Amino acid sequence: MASTFHGFAILLTTFRLWYRWHTSRMWWEDGWAVVALLGDITCLVCVWLEQPTPNCKVY
């Protein structure tokens, strides 16, 4: 489930940045979008690398 939402957010943000670059309308908020994109990619990688704790019972 997390991969779906993160993937969708990454796809939309990448498209937005490409479109703004293509139309030569990059601005400071696009810089923040890049920072958020990098954070989201990092979060997605951490979700993929997460391992369950051994001998941990889930109720």
Q: Using an 8 Å Cβ cutoff, are 10 and 37 in contact?
A: yes
For the whole model, what pTM was predicted? 0.79
Q: 39-48: per-residue pLDDT in tens?
A: 999 999 999 9
DSSP string, the chain: -HHHHHHHHHHHHHHHHHHHHHTT---HHHHHHHHHHHHHHHHHHHHHH--PPTT----
pLDDT over threshold 80, residue 15: yes
CB atoms within 10 A of CB 12: 11
Q: Which two tokens stand for residue 30?
A: 């696009």
